[in-house]
Structure 1
């Protein structure tokens, strides 16, 4: 499998994580979304508003040194409380909206 990695350049410098690792992601759409987060910053960088950047930094740096298995288990723990996993039957309009919006996400997760 040929895996491409995408970097982000800010002011002609490569973006790095808080730990100093080169910021790379394996998905072009994600790289563009992170770049967009940085492009929307103005005079003061508000890191708390850059959710994708923060998530990627954590994944790249792995500050808790968790194994892939440990990371998956901790994510699965939170799914028990995720509203995407719970459905209503009434009102019918809300049930339909939930199916339309959430089922594609759940189908993707099932395939993965």
Structure 2
């Protein structure tokens, strides 16, 4: 998954603080973080616009990053502390999960779902 961003350093710091880990790759034009089987890539929009003719900056949220974590409440707190914005606290949702929502500094929606502990009975 790749998110187009405005400021690579700002986004790297936000995601490192939110996830509590350092990027697995951090070079000019690309930062990658391991989300546990999925890689989150952060690429400056200006770099992508040069690579992909006709690419245009959209408006509004067009996708979301959905994280299932046993530490969801702490993760929402870290989202805000790292410079993101809280949209909705953790509450039970109609599809059976407890989920809170926030925005990263570039306006990408980050959904954080409370997952049961690994040793919980299902």
Return the TM-score normalized by structure 2. 0.27
The structure richer in helix per residue is 1
The structure richer in strand per residue is 2
Higher RCO, Cα 8 Å, sep 6+: 2
Return the TM-score normalized by structure 1. 0.29
